[in-house]
Structure 1
């Protein structure tokens, strides 16, 4: 079993990479933004799917170490 500090460092590194990439990509194509007057509604459907796929892969990789 991996130690907790290693897991936290890996997750922190992944979050850093994702944050860096998102800084340059900005809005991901496919996400819906509705603006009407003074109100903005943002529905990140594509971003949610991408995050779901990445988490599924990560949990399956970490699940093999049990």
Structure 2
């Protein structure tokens, strides 16, 4: 099989899985509202920075990248 086709198929499957988890997991795991995420509201001004969510997503993507390198 062509390596580009293989990468596209794997990428598509990963996107489908992430999309399904996003729909189902949004109710189970409150991404964007984890403890440690910064939310400041003063009057009409709202500031939101999901730092813990960003760190968690970074760890998951790093683990996936590591597994791809491991099984390559």
Q: Does 1:6 align with 2:12?
A: no
What does residue range 10-21 of structure 1 map to in structure 2 within 5 Å?
10-20=13-23, 21=25
RMSD: 2.2
Name segments (4+ residues, structure 1) moved above 6 Å.
Answer: none
Cα deviation, residue 57, structure 1: 0.4
TM-score scaled by length of structure 2: 0.69
SS at match of 2:48: strand
Higher relative contact order (CA 8 A, sep 6+): 1
Cα deviation, residue 11, structure 1: 1.9
CA distance in 2, matches of 1:14, 1:30: 27
- Structure 2, unaligned runs of 5 or more: none
1:4-47: CA deviation from partner (whole Å, max 9, x where unpaired): 2332233213422441212x126222211001111111111110
Q: Which has the larger radius of gyration?
A: 2
